[in-house]
Amino acid sequence: MKNSTKVILLIAGVLLLDQIVKIWVKTHMEYGDEIFIFGMSWARIHFVENNGMAFGLSLGGEYGKLALSLFRVLAVGFLGYYIYHLIQNKASFGLLTCFALILAGALGNILDSAFYGLIFSESPYHGGLATLFPPEGGYSSFLHGKVVDMLYFPMVDGTFPDWLPIWGGEHFLFFRPVFNFADTAITVGVLSLIFFHRGFFSGQTKDPETTTGEEPEALQPTDPDPPSNLEEETSASPLAEDSAPGEK
């Protein structure tokens, strides 16, 4: 299977998983509801929405939301072109995988921002389920939809000791942000590039014929050592020409 086909399948798979989970959460859970994963209190499906970037970060106001959506569209266009460039230059599949994950994650969140406001009704806090394709129309306009988040892992929940400066006695929670599968794909892709970039790019070396456009020179066979002067004189001497037995 060609690397280009693998990249397309990877992007499509991540995008499909991300959107299936988001649509299910949006239509089967009320805003603020949560479900323990396999009964574990530190791993939950917790439905929230945000207007901004990964892990609930956001830019303020309507224009901030629009600017972020447009930036995502431009970033996706650049990533798509760069992945095409990498495929044309025979980049390693590991490197392609990293950028494919980042592209798939960015696409997943763009779909939320671009279309969820058009095709879903509002999700009020503990106020009922959202409707897909409501008769009265969606809750927002194009590129102003909210990103659906649901993965929540509050693994450490406690209080800072009183003797600790500044934060002493305050509540502590790790990991606080709520995110989605698109955010996960972006994070995995970026971290893989950071930690394994040397291995990915070290395989990009090419042979001389590919890099210079010229065939490498063939190795010339080495001549045997020329006879020494002593050997030449000996072979030319009359004494070296012994006559056959019986001849004088």
Element (H, E) at 85: helix 61-88
Positions in the chain whose pLDDT score sits under 70: 52-62, 202-248
- Neighbour count for residue 129 (Cβ, 10 Å): 15
Residue 24 domain boundaries:
3-204
Q: Please give the pLDDT value at position 65.
A: 74
Asked if the structure places residue 88 within a domain, the reply is yes
Query: For residue 223, is it within any domain?
Result: no
Whether residue 244 is contained in a domain is answered as no
Residue 92, SS3? coil
Note whether residue 63 is domain-resident.
yes
Question: Is residue 218 in some structural domain?
Answer: no
Burial bucket for residue 182 (CB in 10 Å: 0-12, 13-18, 19+): buried
Q: Exposure string (b/e) for 49-62, b if CB count within 10 Å is 16 or more?
A: bbbbbbebeeeeee
Q: What letter represents residue 113's amino acid?
A: S
User: Which H or E run includes 42?
Assistant: strand 40-50
**pTM of the complete model:** 0.75
The string of pLDDT tens digits covering residues 9-39 is 999 999 999 999 999 999 999 999 999 999 9
Domain presence at residue 30: yes
pLDDT attached to residue 203: 56
Q: Is 33 a catalytic residue?
A: no
* Count of structural domains, the chain: 1
Instruction: Give backbone dihedrals phi and psi of 154, rounded to 5 degrees, phi first.
Output: -80, 75
In a domain, 57, yes or no: yes
| DSSP characters over 172-234 | EEES--EE-HHHHHHHHHHHHHHHHHHHHHHTT---HHHHHSSPPPPPPPPPPPPPPHHHHHH
Return d(Cα 127, Cα 31) in angstroms, integer: 7
Residue 112 annotated in active site = no
Q: What is the pLDDT of residue 70?
A: 85
* Catalytic-role residue among 18, 183, 223, 225: 183
- Name the active-site residue from 18, 33, 112, 149: 149
pLDDT, position 210: 42
Strand, helix or coil for residue 158: strand
Instruction: Output the pLDDT for position 167.
Output: 86
